[in-house]
Amino acid sequence: MALGDEMARRFDDPQIEARTFAALVLDMIVSRGDFRHNWPDSFTRWYPAEPDLRGHDARLGWLHAAAHGADLLGTFGCHPQVDPAAMLDLASARLLTPADYLFAQREDERLADAIVRTLTHPQITAEQSTHWMTPIDAVVHALSPGVPTPPHVSNTLHTLRALYGLTALSAEGPAAAGQLGPVRRVGSGSRCQLAGLGSLAMDSKSLLQHLSNELDAFRACLAGDLSVPVEHCGEWTLRDLAEHLGSSNLWAAAAVTEQHGKHEATSAPRDPDEFLRWFEESSGTLLKALDTDPSASAWTFHPPHTVGFWQRRRALEALIHRWDAENALGSSRPLDPVLAGEGVAEVFDTMAPRQMARGRAQHPQHALRLHATDTGTSWVYGPGAAVATLTATAEQLVLLLWGRMCSADAAFGWTGDQEAGLRILAGTLTP
C-alpha cells in the first residue's frame, strides 16, 4: 500500500517520467487487489491536466502518459469502489482538453479499451453509459467545414472509432456474422469481460452448477492411482494435481470471504482417506463462498473485482483439470461445449492480457478469428479485421489455448493466412 501512496504523490512530480510511470505502476498495484480511495482522486486531478502527451521521446524513451493513464482509468472504471460514471467523465475530459500532440502510438485504442472496461461495471446505468459523450457531441458539432481539426478533437474522433470497433459484434460485417453465428471480440488489452457480446456468455447459476459437476468428476478420479503422471502439468502426479486444485479452491474462497489474495495453503494430509476428505471439504468451502451475488466485491488478480469473476474462473479451472485427471487415467470425457466456449473467451479477455503484462506474451499485431463449429460462436482476438480463421469444436479450441492440443492436429481447420494466425497464438497466452 505504501508503494501505491507514493505513486499517487508522483502525479504532482515535476518530471514527466515520474508522472506517467506512476500511472503504470499504480495500475499494476490496483489490478493486484490493493486500493485506497484517495488514489482515484489523485489520478483524476492529474490525467486531464497532463500537458505532455508524447508517446516517445528520443532522449527519454517511452513516456506514454495518455496510454498509461488510459490503462489506469480502465482499471479504476472496473473497480467496485470507484464510480464508473466519474471515470467515463474523466475519459471525456482528457479527450477534450486542448493538446498539440496527435495520437501516434495507439493511444486511441488504449482509451477506447478503458471506456469499454468501464462500461462493464455492474452498477453503471443506461444514462451514465452515454452521458459522458454529451460534451464530445457538442464539440464535434461545433466543427466548421474547411477549418483544420484541432489535434485533441482528432484524437477524440479516432478514439470513438476505436471504441466502435471494440464493441462491434463482428469485424467482418453482418453477412459474416450471420454465417458464423454470434461473435465476441476480445481484442488484446481488454481486462473486463465484454458483457453482452455473444449469446453464450454464461450466467452465475450455470457456472456454479458446472463448477459443482466438474469438482465431483475430478473427485471421482481420485479413486484411482494417484501416482500416475499428468501429461500436461510438468512433473506432477495426479495427487499433485489434486492438491493444487484443492489448495486453489481454498485460496479463491478466501479471496471472496476475506477479500485478499494472501491465503497461505497448508500441506494436504498424506493419509489417503484424509486426503480425499480434505479435497471434498475444499470443494464444499469454495462452493459455499461463491454461492452469493456475482456482483458482490471480491479480491481478484484481474478485473472485474467481483464474485462473478471467481464463479467463472473456478468453473474453468475445474473443467481443464478434470480433463487432465481423466486424460492421465486414459478416459477423458467430452467438455461441455458452452463452458468450453466461455474458456476460450477467458483466455483472451483475462489470461492473455495478464501474460502480456508480465512479459510472457506479445501483443498481437493482427486479428485472428476462432470459430467453434459445435456452438456456432466466434471470437476475434487482436486488432483490426481477421487475417485468418481457425475452426474446431469449442472443446478443441480451449484445449489448444491451454496447451493440451497442438495446432498441427488434423482437428483444426484454417482459412486465410495460417502462418500469421499461428504467430498470433505463439507464446504463452495462459499461465
Domain identity same for 287 and 346: no
In the predicted structure, residue 8 carries a pLDDT above the cut 80 = yes
Q: Which residues contact 174 (CB under 8 A, 6 or more apart)?
A: none
pLDDT band of residue 174 (cuts 50, 70, 90) is very low
CATH of the domain at 279: 1.20.120.450
In the predicted structure, residue 178 carries a pLDDT above the cut 70 = no
Nearest to 79 by CA among 298, 334, 236: 298
Quote the pLDDT of residue 167: 63
**Mean pLDDT estimate for the chain:** 88
Domain identity same for 295 and 364: no
Domain identity same for 227 and 266: yes
In a domain, 430, yes or no: no
Stretch among 45-59, 232-246, 352-366 having the lowest mean pLDDT: 352-366
Domain identity same for 309 and 370: no
Quote the pLDDT of residue 165: 67
Contact 210, 315 (CB under 8 A): yes
In the predicted structure, residue 170 carries a pLDDT above the cut 70 = no
Angle between helices 84-96 and 107-119 (to 10 degrees): 160
In a domain, 195, yes or no: no
Domain identity same for 358 and 319: no
User: What SS3 state is found at 270?
Assistant: coil
CA gap 18, 209 in Å, rounded: 48
CA gap 168, 357 in Å, rounded: 25
In the predicted structure, residue 402 carries a pLDDT above the cut 50 = yes
CA gap 386, 366 in Å, rounded: 7
Quote the pLDDT of residue 231: 96
Instruction: Let me know if 321 is exposed, middle or buried by CB neighbors in 10 A (0-12, 13-18, 19+).
Output: buried
In a domain, 199, yes or no: no
Mean pLDDT of the region 405-427:
94
Q: How many domains is the chain built from?
A: 3
Domain identity same for 305 and 351: no
Domain identity same for 209 and 288: yes
In the predicted structure, residue 3 carries a pLDDT above the cut 80 = yes
pLDDT band of residue 399 (cuts 50, 70, 90) is very high
Task: Give the distance from CA 267 to its chain's centroid.
Answer: 31
Angle between helices 65-78 and 38-46 (to 10 degrees): 150
Beta bridge partners of 56: 62
Nearest to 154 by CA among 105, 113, 96: 96
Domain identity same for 135 and 274: no
In a domain, 289, yes or no: yes
Domain identity same for 101 and 245: no
- DSSP letter string, 242-269: HHHHHHHHHHHHHHHHTS-S---PPPPP
Nine-digit cell at 71?
490503462
In the predicted structure, residue 255 carries a pLDDT above the cut 60 = yes
Mean pLDDT of the region 123-151:
88
Please name the residue ranges forming H helices in 120-223: 126-131, 134-141, 151-167, 174-180, 204-221
Contact 367, 170 (CB under 8 A): no
Quote the pLDDT of residue 180: 37
pLDDT band of residue 186 (cuts 50, 70, 90) is low
Contact 189, 350 (CB under 8 A): no
In a domain, 193, yes or no: no
Mean pLDDT of the region 322-346:
95
Quote the pLDDT of residue 173: 35
CATH of the domain at 374: 3.30.1050.10
Domain identity same for 20 and 135: yes
pLDDT band of residue 329 (cuts 50, 70, 90) is very high
Q: Which range marks the domain in which residue 403 is found?
A: 174-188+339-425
Mean pLDDT of the region 405-425:
95
Q: How much of the chain is in helix, strand and coil states, percent to nearest 5? A: 55, 5, 40
